[in-house]
Amino acid sequence: MELTAGDIALATRGELVGPADVIATSMTIDSRVLLPGAGFVALRGQRDGHDFVADAFERGASLAVTVVPFEAPVSGATLIRVSDTMQALSDLARLTRSRLRDATVVGITGSAGKTATKDLTAAALARTRRVHASPSSFNNEAGVPLTLIGAPGDVEVVVVEMGARFKGNIGDLAAIAEPQVGVITHVGLAHAEHLGGREGIARVKGELLEALPADGLAVLNDECDATGALAQRTAARVIRVGRKASSDVRAADVTLDAELRPSFVLESAWGTAPVTLAVRGEHQVENALEAAAVALELGVPLDAVVAGLADARTATRRMDLVRTAGGVLVINDAYNSSPTSAAAAVRSLARLDVPGRRIAVLGEMLELGAQSDAEHEAIGALAASSGIDLLIAVGHQSDRLAAGARGGRVSVLTVADPDDALAVVVSEVHAGDAVLVKASRAVGLERVAESLTDGEGAP
């Protein structure tokens, strides 16, 4: 949505330096991806965005939002100077949301599967609705405002992913986005260290439901044991999805093909239809059901929902499956990790029909707090009981992963870091093997998968 410098100054209570009619055709916080005509918001975080204001103008920025008393790096540059640029970004999102009164905002949160569910929801809607969705994993205090600001003026549905690391995060994001539809994928242990265990996580995720209007809609996962309590926290109507006979939108006859792509029969009040997904892993079935429920409730015909789900793709490093030139099947699921997603990835590896060995390269799941040791041991035990042939445990929790796996039929190796993991994988992998790579993002384990698929680890 286009904003003038005057609009921005008024919404942010900022000091305008330059003409009020200068237009920002979009907004960004990253000068490297700035499109000519965009506005640049100089956020302060690990890196100070003010160091890149000059670069932004060199790349064609029309204006910049900066702190007081930042001076323009080039003569004649238009600035809006504010006391807090992150707050200014939120203010601009609120302005945008006020101009999108005819649009439906769908908020999606959960301990895992947020991005996949967001992508599936956008795809399920896209055949008959003008949809705008969060790019990649734009789900925090900067990403949600940028998603709203990036919505075109004629949009009909905005699909917003919402993440949380602390109490109140989801409530704050919902106050900006004002969702009419809320989706919770499930309640697990991601960020348990900061959120107070699983009960604290449920409380924070439930902030989305509390923000819904009475005439809104909550879509919840019937396979999650937290759903009953969550449903009590909203005045909105509740739809449950799952594999139970009592679920409002159900999946029956679930199967996986040779590349882990699920098929199932979708059963609902809108009819019954076969669904085949391009995204991988059996855990995507519940994500697809939630996406289908949203689209069906918003009036998309069943056949268009099914076609959209079949087209859906999600972000990289999420169950990416690549067969190398040397005949090794690599699952790159290294974008992030939690007990739920790690278990789903291990089960997916176990389901692969390969002539060689199944090798799991697993790194630490971060921010689990007091549950960390037990949850890493549980994943190790799952690897041992699932038919995995070799577990390569990486990093600080490698001993707990190994402890959980020992005593089973899986061979176990522990290494210190991704470089050591790669060296071991290269020496161990052979044609016909399947390799899963999974860890929290900060571990950096994606280098192992990328080295294998780039040819370095080919046998």
Q: What does each C-alpha distance from 213 to 116, 173, 234 come to in angstroms? A: 25, 15, 8
Q: Does some domain include residue 223?
A: yes
Cα 114 to Cα 140: distance, rounded to the nearest angstrom:
12
CATH at 249: 3.40.1190.10
DSSP state of 371: G
- 219 lies in the same domain as 347: no
- 78 lies in the same domain as 13: yes
Q: How many domains, the chain?
A: 3
- 325 lies in the same domain as 307: no
CATH at 27: 3.40.1390.10
Three-class SS state of 29: coil
Cα 389 to Cα 382: distance, rounded to the nearest angstrom:
12
Cα 190 to Cα 205: distance, rounded to the nearest angstrom:
11
pLDDT at 456 (0 to 100): 53
pLDDT at 192 (0 to 100): 57
Q: Which residues of the chain have pLDDT under 70?
A: 189-196, 455-459
- 170 lies in the same domain as 262: yes
- 233 lies in the same domain as 119: yes
- 127 lies in the same domain as 268: yes
Cα 158 to Cα 446: distance, rounded to the nearest angstrom:
31
- 175 lies in the same domain as 237: yes
pLDDT at 331 (0 to 100): 94
DSSP state of 44: B
* Residue whose structure tokens are 């990649």: 136
- 59 lies in the same domain as 134: no
pLDDT at 194 (0 to 100): 58
- 245 lies in the same domain as 228: yes
Residue 44 structural domain? 3-85
Beta-carbon neighbour count of residue 374 at 10 Å?
Answer: 13
Q: Does some domain include residue 263?
A: yes
Cα angle, residue 119 at apex, residues 454 and 152 outer, rounded to 5°: 115
Q: Does some domain include residue 261?
A: yes
pLDDT at 411 (0 to 100): 95
Cα 288 to Cα 275: distance, rounded to the nearest angstrom:
9
- 294 lies in the same domain as 378: no
Q: Which two tokens stand for residue 77?
A: 């540059």
Q: Does some domain include residue 90?
A: no
Q: In what helix (H) or strand (E) does residue 82 lie, and over which residues does it extend?
A: strand 79-82
Q: Does some domain include residue 92?
A: no
**Distance from chain centroid for Cα 125:** 18
